[in-house]
Amino acid sequence: MSIYSNNQQQIAEYLSREDKVTLSRWTDWRWQLKHSITRVETFEKLLGIELEVMERRKISLTLKKFPLSMTPYYLSLIDRSDFRNDPVFRQAFPDPQELEIDKCDMVDPLAEDQDSPAPGITHRYPDRVLFHVSNVCAMYCRHCTRKRKVGDIDSIPDRNQILAGLDYIRKTLEIRDVLLSGGDPLMLNDAYLDWILTELRQIEHVQVVRIGSRMPVVLPYRVTDELVEMLKKHQPLWLNTHFNHPCEITSSSRVALKKLADAGIPLGNQSVLLAGVNDCPRIIKSLVHKLVENRVRPYYLYQCDLSEGLSHFRTPVGKGVEIMESLIGHTSGFSVPTYVIDAPGGGGKIPLMPNYLISLSTNKVVLRNYEGVITTYREPDSYKQKFCDRKCEGCNLKLKLEDGEEADATGIEMLLDDCDETISLTPAENQRLERRDEC
């Protein structure tokens, strides 16, 4: 059997220095990883292009800080006739602009290293943690928010670190959701991942496990029948992947997604809004439609983070709102992702969308719909306000008390609470209050 396209055949033969590379080698994920493209010269050869001396020099400087690696498969998706504008090229090939540091850029904008109570763990939200189980990826995305760690062999988690992370999860009873992240967790071999998942599944308070992986996009052959059989043992397991452009949804990625979905693993997608790649309502709409066609639910659309080296990828927030405006109401609700900014400093994800609430009075709200139609909703006159002490015993609504885990409210939820005395939240170091303390 021959390889899918001439393009892939040529790439395979050049990389392996063999005359005839069979389909079974091309679709072997280990073959793909072994033949990953890490040098600009190889890239030029494979695309049949020649960069100018100056450009090549600038790129080699960029590579000293942020290395290059991509799979032959992902490279084969690049349209050679207009490679500079190609979304795959832009996501994979270094750009000297990565060395331009903006004054707002940060090394670790999401403060993941600060919110880390144990090696490899980021514990930011009350009930869930990120667990970095791998530091390597099949492809180094140029827009990676963890660019600081890419290719840094010192941060590859070893078995002891994984054990320490597992210990933290085991002793922290409020964690009910663990997100395996990295790097790409599917870079681990099946047996090792099986071990981590087995350990997690034995922890009673861990209700769900999620895997974040870009393999269906950059190396779909990683999704083997054996992998899927192994993952199936660890249900309920969710998987979020990372498609950014409709051209990434190929016949090979469709096969990978089908295997996962058929195994009963709910699939989600997290895209990043990237200038020059997908900052267009029509592109995102086409992407989300292709995703749901393949049983992948668009989950988040991220505003590009403030990590160093990403300034040329950032769009104004208005572009994201414009895209949301073109999705909400215009297409199936389950095709619409949530547009979020991951707050610098570690505040977590903040959702953003166009405003639909125009005004309100004590008994009416004025709203507008996606078409611009302005409408009113009359609120009930009969609704009886009830004092809620969050204790639930005397309440006529039947919440089984053992299911009602969170009794205490925090933050804005606390301000809304009937039984908490707090009336305001004040930033630390408020000058007015400091003056009070002084006198």
Q: Report the alpha-carbon distance of residue 144 to residue 305 in Å, rounded.
A: 9
- The answer to whether residue 125 is catalytic is yes
Q: Which residues of 107-126 are buried (b: 16+ CB within 10 A; e: fewer)?
A: ebbbbbeebbebbbbbbbee
If the CB atoms of residues 69 and 122 are measured against ligand PLP, the closer one turns out to be: 122
The tokens 């790097």 sit on which residue?
183
Candidates 73, 90, 124, 221; catalytic one: 124
Candidates 86, 108, 115, 137; catalytic one: 137
- The answer to whether residue 128 is catalytic is yes
Candidates 73, 108, 142, 146; catalytic one: 146
Closest contact distance (angstroms) between CB of 349 and ligand PLP is 5
Closest contact distance (angstroms) between CB of 328 and ligand PLP is 19
Closest contact distance (angstroms) between CB of 128 and ligand PLP is 5
Closest contact distance (angstroms) between CB of 184 and ligand PLP is 16
Closest contact distance (angstroms) between CB of 222 and ligand PLP is 22
Candidates 25, 65, 297, 349; catalytic one: 349
Tell me the β-bridge partners of 121. Answer: 131
Summarize as ranges the residues that interact with ligand PLP (CB under 6 A): 122, 124-125, 128, 130, 179, 349
Question: Which residues fall within 8 angstroms of residue 334, CB to CB, at 6 or more apart?
Answer: 292, 297, 298
Candidates 4, 14, 125, 299; catalytic one: 125
Candidates 86, 305, 314, 339; catalytic one: 305
Residue nearest ligand PLP (C-beta atom): 124
If the CB atoms of residues 146 and 222 are measured against ligand PLP, the closer one turns out to be: 146
If the CB atoms of residues 122 and 134 are measured against ligand PLP, the closer one turns out to be: 122
Residue 144, annotated as binding a ligand: yes
CA atoms within 13 A on the CB side of 157: 28
Residue 137, annotated as binding a ligand: yes
- The answer to whether residue 144 is catalytic is yes
**DSSP H helical ranges for 22-104:** 23-26, 29-34, 40-47, 53-65, 72-75, 87-92
If the CB atoms of residues 95 and 108 are measured against ligand PLP, the closer one turns out to be: 108
Q: Report the alpha-carbon distance of residue 393 to residue 80 in Å, rounded.
A: 67
- The answer to whether residue 79 is catalytic is no
- The answer to whether residue 146 is catalytic is yes
Tell me the β-bridge partners of 300. Answer: 270, 338
Adjacency order of strands within the sheet including 374-378:
357-360, 364-368, 374-378
If the CB atoms of residues 122 and 294 are measured against ligand PLP, the closer one turns out to be: 122
Is residue 299 classed as helix, strand or coil in its secondary structure?
A: strand
Is residue 79 classed as helix, strand or coil in its secondary structure?
A: coil
- The answer to whether residue 201 is catalytic is no
Residue 419, annotated as binding a ligand: no
Q: Are 47 and 39 in contact (CB under 8 A)?
A: no
If the CB atoms of residues 12 and 137 are measured against ligand PLP, the closer one turns out to be: 137
Name which of 333, 247, 262 is nearest 294 in CA terms. 262
Closest contact distance (angstroms) between CB of 213 and ligand PLP is 14
- The answer to whether residue 124 is catalytic is yes
- The answer to whether residue 314 is catalytic is no
Q: Are 248 and 275 in contact (CB under 8 A)?
A: no
φ, ψ for residue 350 (rounded to 5)? -115, 120
Which residues are documented as binding site for [4Fe-4S] cluster?
137, 141, 144
Catalytic positions are 124-125, 128, 137, 141, 144, 146, 305, 342, 349
Binding positions: 137, 141, 144
